[in-house]
Each structure stands twice: as structure tokens, then as C-alpha cells.
Amino acid sequence: MTDSTIVDTGLGDSEDDDFDELIEAAGSDLPDHRYFDRELSWLAFNQRVLELAEDPTVPLLERANFLAIFASNLDEFFMVRVAGLKRRIVTGLAVPTNIGTTPQKVLEWISNMAHDLQERHARVWSEDVRPALAAEKIEFVEWDHLTERERTLLYEYFEEYVYPVLMPLAVDPAHPFPYISGLSLNLAVRIRHSRTGREEFARIKVPPMLPRAIRVPSEADGADDPDSPRDRFLPLEMLIAQHLDELFPGMELIEHHAFRLTRNEDMVIEEDESENLIQALEEELLRRRFGPPIRLEITEDMDDVTLELLLDELDITHQEVYRLPAPLDLRALFQLNKVDRPDLRYNKHVPVTALAFQPVDSDSKHAKADVFAQIRKGDVLVHHPYESFATSVQTFLEQAARDPQVLAIKQTLYRTSGDSPIVQALIDAAENGKQVLALVEVKARFDEANNIEWARILEKSGVHVVYGLVGLKTHCKIASVLREEHGKLRHYTHVGTGNYNPKTSRLYEDIGLFTCDPVVGRDVTRLFNELSGYAIEKKFKRLLTAPLHLRKGLLKRIDRETRRAAEGKPAYVRIKVNSMVDEQIIDALYRASMAGVRVDVWVRGICSLRVDLPGVSDNIRVRSVLGRYLEHSRIFAFGEGEDATVYIGSADMMHRNLDRRVEALVQVTDPRHMQDLINYVDLAMNEGSATWHLGENGSWTRHHLSADGEPLADVQDTTMSLIQRRRRSRQTRR
């Protein structure tokens, strides 16, 4: 997890899972208090991120990065989840949550917990990580700590780059209070006219197009001193504050303080009333900038006069004010990713090529295996980022684009990256005369503008671009290649858990299955035809798809294990997801536990499932893993041995995934692959692995040290080693 553009918070939209009607089995034998609030559970997830920043055994620049991730995550939480709660209250849709609590009460809980977390976050930076960085000669300095020479050089930078783009906006009878954009950093300035003595207020927006942390010029005094910090930064707002006299000549400066506003940036689109979804989305993106305020962050030294003025003008309450030590907005720490200090980062890991796709001519640097020939030998399971995305998924599509025997390519695109080789492969295929269908989900939250751009590029290149079904987000990760071989057509299919995004593939843990099984090929072909048509109605053979069949299919398989346990047979359910919220799935797991089924749940983020219900959750264990990679794969395994059934796919256990998205799980049938996936989940459940354990009342406890104080095994490092060892072993037998 390294920058704000790629972090998947798992939040969902404000319409997802908030206050949907709870569907409960008649005559429920389960207690009423069996769920944990999803908003508080998400805050607990972000607390786990913060705990990594607090951990002195984590490399120092990675700790700073986790501080930035925490800040970015919390911004999104307020923009989407808190905004959604407030909107429901205003619109009169404030029905009780799944724990029977009013949204007003949940907002109060969120405020208390978020205040505590933000204050803790600020302390970790100021009292721990910042001093540790300074000890490593990476210093964030105050203006008072600079030499005259350094101040002169920074003043020159201010004059050349900063001053020309500043726009001080005064507030007086002729100038109304300016619009404050969401997440912008600002200076609130109170000034006094030297002649009239009248006090006025002005706002200066810190330019977002400039680096937030200004590097102190290396020509400064002491730069050649080996004891002098070699990476020194000054916050941009501090540089501006020191030169306010340039902006308000002849005025007396009374007070100046930084502040930052968060606005509602969730979107509401009435698709059935919008003939052109792209146009409707662009209009909504424009409206998003003007959402109502939901949080005001201020520096702890802000005076009451300035604060009250902001509260009045922004129509915000004291409960929504977060008073914090400077600097605000620690997303600025993402800039440290450019600091060249590999000794302060995780050891570099280079993904290996999956054995099946290892080229025969391995001495050639650019040699690549014939992916179609390899898939014909049997299903191929790849595990990113331990195994390379570039030499598997990317190569699969690039070879398909060039292969004269390939007739058609169909693919879903949920999130992709700039200069994407995946998009380029589709363009190349279309230009080579192949039929190419790209199902672009333009409503992928906070990637809408990017996806609109790529959709138009694809259309101009001759790719058939469709936008899915009205009212449903297309979240499944599938690609289909139709190839002519010996006068017959063969389907080659990839079904994955992660996006077709080369950038995130280096940082997200995901799994993908390549197969030429005609059953999967027919399933996926029908799914694409229905997505480019009007509805999803059919059942499939080797796929479980939402919104019609996925929940039912999972409940059926959980029920099978419940019945086996009731008959005294071994029974096991293993689930790895990003979020566990859906009440029907949770209730089924409770009943399975009550029947004696062993239930292991590996969840990265939100978990409404409780493990502190005597007689109900006794056989349920819940673990969470956070680290250098963002755990993103979804695995569902039912039973053991020859009776086991294993799926991978795109769906989390949330209402949005099961009811309002097009999702797909594919059954993994190769016994070796099935066992690899089961072993992977078991690794996280092993008491010798470093994980967070879910405990009473939704609390999470980190278990990373043994009884004698030795570090427990890191799940991701262990997986890395296991894959490399397994690859060597199978290569020997090859």
C-alpha cells in the first residue's frame, strides 16, 4: 500500500448497506445483538493501519506511508459514509441500523472515535515518526530552524513559483465569503487596516498543484556537512504564512491559521432517467465539488474569533470540528515515496513468472511462453503480486491482440491506470481486425473521470464499449478470448479477484484463474452477452453470479456444511474477503457454528460478524492481515479433502456486492490449486502467524509476538517464500 490513488478502502457508497431492511428468518433462534456496526468496524480497520505506523519494527518510511494511508482512508470515510448518514437524516430516511441504533447515535459514536483516532494519528507523527525521520536525516523543519541563506533561497522559490498562483480572497460587504473546495488546505487570515483600524478576514487557498512539502534547497548552508540532514522539507502553508505581508501590503496581520474542509463527495445518479450515462456522470462529477460540508479540521492554535466565523459561514457544528496540531493533511507524507532511502523501506520484491508461463527459452530476456498452449495443458492459478501480472494477465491479452487465430476479445474494466497496457492491448486487437468488447464500469467511485476518458479512447479505436446494466455496477473481473483452432472455436478465460490494473497489481494481493474449460467459456460468454444486453437471468455451471444467484449459492454451500456437522461428519467453512457485512450470510455462519462447523473468516476491513456470542459463535475465528500489500483476494472454501468446493472471485459479503453489483465467482477444480488456496487461508489462521484477532464487542487485538517475545511469521513474507519454494519444486519435476 503506497499511495492515495490506489488504496481500496472497501467503504462502498452511501447507499450500500446503510439501513437496508434487515431480512431475517422467521422464528429466528439467534440473539438480537448479533451484529457489530459497520461504520465503527471500518474505523477499527483504519486503526489497524495506524497501528502499523506505530510499530517500530516496520521500516521507517513505510510507517510514514501508513500515516498517509490512514489520512487518505479517513478522508474517504467522511466524504462517503458520514456524508451518506447525514443525507439520510436530512431526507427523513433515518431508519435504524442493523444493530437497532439510530443514525444520529451512530454519528455521535463516529465523532467520538474519529476524534480520538485523528488526535492519536497526529501524535504518532509529531512524537514518534517525525523525530525518527530526523534522526535518519529526513527532516520536516519549522521556519525558525532555517538559516538566513535557506530563507533567502526559499523566498526566491516563493516569488517565482508560489506568489503568482496565490489568490487571496477578502471578505467584506463587497466580497462574500469564498467557496471552500473539499479537501483543500487553506489559510484563514485576520488583518487590520492601518488607517481605519477595521478588522477583516481573508482566505488563501494553498495551491494544490504545487508540492505540499517544499524541499529546502541543497545549496543552503551546511549542505556539505555530513551531519546535516540531506532531505529537508518545509510545509508549503508555512512558506506562504511567512510572506503574508507580500499579499496584504500596508495591513497589520492579527492571526493566521490553517484549516481544511471535507465535503460530501458521494454521487447519486438516476440511471433510468439518463439516456446518456457518461453525460449524467460528468454532470454529477461537477456537482460533487459543491457538496455540503461534513468536517472542519483546524490547527490547535486557532483563536475563537476565527473559528466562529468559519462555523457561521460554513454552516458546520462544533461536533464536526477537529482541532489538531500542525501540519494538517498528512497525505503530504506520500511525497516521501520519492526519497531514495531503500534502507528505510521493505526489502524489494520482484514478482516471479508463474511456472506455467515460464518461457522455454529462459535465457532470452524478452522471451515469453505461449500462454494459450500452456492453458491448454490445464488450468493455471496465479497469485499476485508474488507472481507477475505482466507475464500472465498482461501477456495473455497482448498475445491475444496479435494472434491471427484470435477472433474476439471481451473484457470488463472496473479500474485501470494511466498508459495502461491492458487498454492498449484492446486497442491493438481492434486495429488488427478482431471483435473487441470492453465493458467499462464508469461508476467506479473516485475513478469515474479516468474511466470516462478511457471509454472514449477505446470507442475511437473501434472497440465496442458498453456500460453494463442500469442500476448495477459491474464489478466482476473477467476476460474472454475466442480462438480458432483446427476449424473449431476454443474459449480461453481469465477470472480474477482484482482489477485489470498493472499499477495496483504490484501492491494488491489478488488471485486469477486461467482456463480453457468449455463450461467456463460458455458461462462467461453468456454473462458478457447479458451484460451487453438487458439483464442477467440465467444460472451458470461453474460460475456463481450476483445479483441473482451468488448469495443463494453461498448459503446453499454453507447449509451443506451445517447438515454435515449435524450428521456428525467433518465440516468446514473458510472465507477470505475484504468485508463481511451481509446479515443473511452472517446468520448462516452463526447457525453453522452452532451445528459444529469450523468457520474461519479472514477479513481485511469491515466485519459485522461477532465472535463473542456464547453458544452461537463458539466455532468461529476471525483474523485480519495488513502489511506491505493490500489483501484483496476473495476465497470461499467449503468442506475438506475430496468433498471440498473452492471458489475465487470479485465479491465481498456486502449488500452492494450481492444485490447491486454484477459479481462472479469461479469454481476452482484442480485439486492442487484447491489445496493451495485452502493452505493460504489456513496460514492466516495459524497461531504462529502475525495477525489481528477479532475479540469481544468488535475489538481487534494484534498478535505479532510469541510468548517469549519473538516476532511471529509475517503472512505475506511467508507466502512469498512458499510460492518461490513451490515454484522451484514443481520446476524440478517439470
Binding residues for Mg(2+): 415, 445
Amino acid 172 reads D
Residue positions forming the annotated binding site: 73, 415, 445, 508, 604, 632
In 3D space, the residue among 511, 516, 524, 523 whose CA is nearest the CA of residue 372 turns out to be 516
Strand bridging mode 380-384 / 406-413: unpaired
b or e along 48-76 (b: 16 or more beta carbons within 10 Å of the residue's beta carbon)? bbbbbbbeeebbbbbbbbbbbbbbbbbbb
Residue positions forming the annotated binding site for ATP: 73, 508, 604, 632
| Angle, alpha carbons 268-415-586 (nearest 5°) | 70
495 burial via Cβ count (<10 Å: 0-12, 13-18, 19+): buried
Helix residue ranges per DSSP H, 233-349: 236-241, 244-247, 277-288, 304-314
Beta-ladder partners of 295? 262
Helix residue ranges per DSSP H, 567-623: 583-595
Amino acid 51 reads E
How far apart, in whole angstroms, are the C-alpha atoms of residue 628 and residue 332?
19
C-alpha separations of 240 from 94, 658, 675 in Å: 44, 50, 59
In 3-state terms, what secondary structure has residue 548? coil
b or e along 706-727 (b: 16 or more beta carbons within 10 Å of the residue's beta carbon)? eeeeeebbbbbebbbebbeeeb
In 3-state terms, what secondary structure has residue 66? helix
How far apart, in whole angstroms, are the C-alpha atoms of residue 334 and residue 4?
8
Q: Clarify whether 349 is annotated catalytic.
A: no
In 3D space, the residue among 664, 662, 698, 656 whose CA is nearest the CA of residue 266 turns out to be 656
**What phi and psi, each to the nearest 5 degrees, are found at residue 45?**
-60, -45
Catalytic residue among 257, 383, 384, 475: 475
Q: What is the DSSP string of 309-332?
A: HHHHHHT--GGGEEEEPSPP-GGG
C-alpha cell at 441: 464500469
Let me know: does 603 contact 620? Beta carbons within 8 Å.
no
- The set of catalytic residues is 475
